[in-house]
Each structure stands twice: as C-alpha cells, then as structure tokens.
C-alpha cells in the first residue's frame, strides 16, 4: 500500500521504517530541512535498536523523505498524522500541529484518502480532524478519519511495532477498517516473522497479535487509559516500596507475590525513582484534563502523579542518609535517560535528580551509554561527562544508579570498589542484590529493601565509614 506519514519524530520515524519493512511504499514528511537531509543520508536522530539497520535496508527504495505534504498526500492511499502533541496549559494537549496538518491534507485530497491518527490525542480528536477538513473544502465522501494508536516502548520500539500484543483499529466505516486490516496483514497473519531477514522476535512475543476493531473514540481512549494504568502500576509499587522500607520488608519478595497473580502480572511492577519519558507524564495530565472537560474529577490520576513526583525527593533523602551532608561531595551518576535502551531525557527522573544534587552543592560525574549529548543541552556546565562507569566512579564519594541500562547491572565490582573513595552504592533501579553487594564490601542502598552493610569495618577503602 502507499502511505504518507506526517512527522519524522519518534513515532513517525519508527512507524515509517517498520511499514516499509512490511512491504509498503512510504513517504515520510517533515518540514525541518536539516532533519530531512540527515535522514536521507541514513543518519538516525534517536537511539533505537534495529532502526539503523531497517533505515539502511529501505532508504531510497520503499522509504523516502519529503518536505512536500501536498505531493505525499497526492501519491498515497493512507495518510498518518504523527506530529507532536505537547502539553499545553493545565495539562491539555496542544493540538495546533494536528489541526495545521489536517488543513493541509484537506487541500491536497485528489481522491479517496484514509487519514489516520497515530499521534497520542484526546478523545474526539478524530471528529475535529473531520470537521476541519470539511471546512477546508474536502468533499465529504473523499476521506475517512481513523485512529490507530501506537503502543511502543522506547528502547524496544521496533520489535514492539513488528511483534505487538495487539493492534487497535478505531474506524467508523467498514472501508477504513478494511484498509487498516490490509495494512497490517503481514502481522495479523504472522507472515512477517517467517520472512528471511525479519527482525528477530522477542522471546515473549505472541504468535500473532490480537486485532481489536473499535470506534475512533474508543481507540483514542484506549491509548490514554492504557498509559494511565501502566503509570498507576509504577506509582503503586513505589508506594508499596515506601511501606517496605518503613517496616523492614523486601519489595522484591512483595512484588513477586503480587505479580504472580494472573489478574495483575509482573510487568511495570518495578520500584525505582519514578516514571518519565515523553508519554506517561504528558498523557496522564492530558487524560486528567479530558476527564475534567467531561465533568469528572479523576482524583486517582492526581495521586499517581503526586507519588511519582515524590520519588525524586525520597531518593535524595536516601543519598543524604548515606552521606550525611551533600555539599562538596563528588557523586558518580550512572544513567541520564529516563530508562535504559534510549537516549530520551524528556521528563527523565535521572535529570531531575542531577539538578537536585547540583542545587545541594554536589559535584556530579555522569555516564550514560547514549544520552550524554542530549543531557549536555539541558544541564549546566557543572556536570562532568565520563567515558565509562569506572571513569565516573573514580574518586567519587558514592555511586548512584539512576537508569536501568543492562551494562550497569554487570559492572566489575572489584574494579568499581577500587575506583570509589568510599564503597557506597545507592541504587535507584534495584539492579543488584543487597547481600551480594555487602559480601563484596559495599555499603548498599536500594528502593524498598533493607540496606546492606559489610560485616567487617575494613570494607571502607580509605577510611572507615559510619552510617
């Protein structure tokens, strides 16, 4: 099929590349000349596994890039809107980009087009897109508007797209639903995974995804409600971790008991320093704003947000408990992105914590496998950026783990201890077992678990540490 995807940001670029991988002809439209030039050269603006390989495979053939929305719409059967919907005042989505693109699409219609929302938008946005296009003169029978929300996790977006749990098609006409079924046919039938050269399927991937066909409004709500529920699970387990710390219980044992219940499940029950990224913070506030617009005070969402906001302050208190005073302390920070596997620092709790540490007068030496260039753009010059975890730890008074990169859970502990002034690790992602760290001579703090202290006072390398 012939597709135009408007927007080459995170959602648009992943979708465009993956649709090309499924055999469709895709033109990706953007109005940033520098970004288009880079993409045409094969340069990837985001850190995402398998994306460079797929772009190299399809660039210039099934996948092209254009600055002309009119030409892209004219040559396409389906037009996906994947532009930004930043948070506006009171948490409401700023839909001005969606409206602007809808007007341009209306002016370029030269036959039947299916316009598909791919951006995360509030319920009833599909209705507004249709109204705008009619007002701009698009004939009523020349287009339909559908919703096809994405459920991509940064760091695994390509495999999430190609091996999804479910595909949601929100269409108010059978013609639109049929076109979207055809579009996703290689995934719905499981044919894609049999292709030579297909991206490897994750171990837990379903043989075929569940296809869910709904109204456009229901699909719009599914996206917001899904993200709100996942964020609620994160805040819930963080609140339970706080109780564990107070009574001396172990959150890992508690989450095992909770997550073993098939009605609940283990995913997203991982305690830490809070959620971040471009989706959960924005989507929760937008969903809350939608509820208020409908006359409903969704107070549960307020508490999910409040608990998440408190996590950084709770972790800062944990750092104080480990070091007593913070002014003048040199701290090694591992992780700046909001999660492992991505260079995205938007709403990153790691960045928020670095700012709090700097405000306390700390000297911060940071390392992240992918996000340091982006961090340099937002943090002031008082942060030192290092080439490795061990460089960051050299002469540091404590090591803070703020992002769950796999390599942070596989450090050479003997080498690490030799680098640090004091063998203190404060782990905001629970990457290690407390007893194992204590046996290796570390004073170890984590989230929702008892602190671990070596039995021998000689664990401190340069001088004794009392806590």
Judge contact between 310 and 273, C-beta under 8 A.
Answer: no
Asked if residue 269 lies in contact with residue 341, where contact means CB atoms within 8 angstroms, the answer is: no
Beta strands in 46-111 (DSSP E): 63-66, 78-81
Q: How far apart, in whole angstroms, are the C-alpha atoms of residue 359 and residue 349?
A: 15
User: Which run of H or of E encompasses 335?
Assistant: none
Length of the chain: 467
> Do residues 400 and 329 lie in contact, with contact meaning Cβ atoms separated by under 8 Å?
no
Backbone phi and psi for residue 385, each to the nearest 5 degrees, phi listed first = -105, 130
Structure tokens at 299: 């107070």
Bridge partners, residue 93, by sequence: 87
The dihedral over CA atoms of 238, 242, 248, 252, expressed in degrees to the nearest 10, equals 0
- Output the 3-class SS for 98-143: HHHHHHHHHHHCCCCEEEEECCCCCCCHHHHHHHHHHHCCCCHHHE
- Closest C-alpha to 187, from 173, 166, 202: 166
CA distance 258 to 7: 40
Structure tokens at 185: 């046919």
Residues 201 and 188 sit within 8 Å (Cβ to Cβ): no
- Catalytic residue among 28, 93, 244, 279, which? 279
> Which of helix, strand or coil describes residue 246?
helix
CA 115, CA 81: separation in Å to the nearest integer?
7
Q: Is 419 noted as a catalytic residue in this protein?
A: no
Taking the C-alpha atoms of residue 422 and residue 425, their distance in angstroms, rounded to an integer, is 9
Say whether 145 sits in a helix, a strand or coil.
Answer: strand
Q: Which helix (H) or strand (E) is 2 found in, with range?
A: strand 2-6
Which residue is associated with the tokens 């090591």?
399
Nearest Cα to Cα of residue 4 among 121, 159, 108: 108
Residue 201: C-alpha distances to residues 48, 160, 207 (Å): 16, 9, 9
User: Is the distance from CB of 366 to CB of 383 less than 8 angstroms?
Assistant: yes
What stretches of 324-464 show up as alpha helix (H) in DSSP?
A: 349-359, 372-378, 389-393, 413-419, 434-439
**Could you give the residue numbers annotated as active site?**
279
């Amino acid at each position: 099929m012939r597709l135009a995807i408007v927007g080459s940001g995170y959602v648009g670029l992943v979708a465009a590349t993956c649709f090309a991988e499924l055999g469709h002809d895709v033109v990706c439209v953007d109005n940033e000349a520098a970004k288009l030039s880079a993409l045409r050269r094969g340069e990837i603006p985001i850190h995402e596994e398998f994306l460079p390989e797929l772009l190299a495979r399809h660039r210039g053939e099934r996948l092209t890039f254009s600055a002309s929305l009119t030409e892209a719409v004219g040559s396409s059967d389906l037009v996906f809107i994947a532009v930004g919907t930043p948070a506006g005042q009171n948490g409401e989505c700023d839909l001005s980009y969606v409206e602007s693109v809808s007007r341009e699409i209306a002016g370029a219609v030269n036959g039947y087009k299916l316009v598909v929302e791919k951006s995360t938008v509030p319920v009833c946005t599909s209705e507004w897109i249709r109204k705008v296009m009619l007002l701009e003169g698009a004939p009523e029978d020349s287009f339909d508007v559908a919703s096809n929300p994405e459920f991509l996790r940064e760091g695994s977006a390509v495999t999430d797209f190609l091996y999804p749990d479910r595909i949601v098609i929100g269409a108010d006409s059978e013609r639109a639903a049929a076109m979207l079924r055809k579009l996703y046919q290689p995934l719905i039938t499981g044919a894609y995974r049999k292709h030579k050269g297909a991206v490897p399927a994750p171990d837990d991937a379903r043989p075929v995804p569940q296809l869910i066909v709904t109204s456009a409004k229901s699909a719009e709500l599914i996206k917001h409600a899904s993200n709100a529920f996942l964020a609620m699970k994160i805040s819930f387990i963080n609140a339970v971790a706080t109780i564990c710390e107070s009574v001396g219980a172990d959150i890992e044992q508690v989450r095992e008991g909770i997550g073993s219940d098939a009605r609940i499940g283990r995913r997203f029950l991982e305690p830490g320093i809070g959620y971040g990224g471009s989706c959960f913070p924005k989507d929760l506030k937008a969903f809350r704003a939608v509820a208020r617009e409908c006359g409903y005070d969704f107070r549960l969402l307020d508490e999910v947000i409040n608990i998440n906001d408190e996590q950084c302050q709770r972790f800062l208190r944990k750092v104080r408990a480990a070091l007593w005073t913070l002014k003048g302390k040199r701290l090694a920070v591992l992780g700046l992105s909001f999660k492992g596997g991505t260079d995205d620092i938007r709403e990153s709790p790691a960045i928020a914590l670095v700012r709090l540490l700097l405000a306390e007068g700390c000297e911060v030496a940071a390392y992240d496998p992918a996000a340091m260039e982006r961090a340099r753009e937002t943090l002031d010059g008082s942060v030192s950026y290092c080439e490795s975890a061990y460089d960051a730890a050299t002469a540091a008074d404590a090591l803070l783990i703020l992002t769950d990169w796999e390599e942070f859970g596989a450090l050479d502990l003997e080498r690490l201890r030799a680098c640090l002034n004091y063998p203190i690790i404060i782990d905001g992602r629970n990457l290690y077992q407390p007893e194992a760290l204590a046996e290796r001579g570390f004073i170890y703090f984590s989230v929702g678990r008892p602190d671990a202290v070596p039995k021998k006072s000689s664990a401190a390398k340069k001088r004794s540490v009392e806590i």
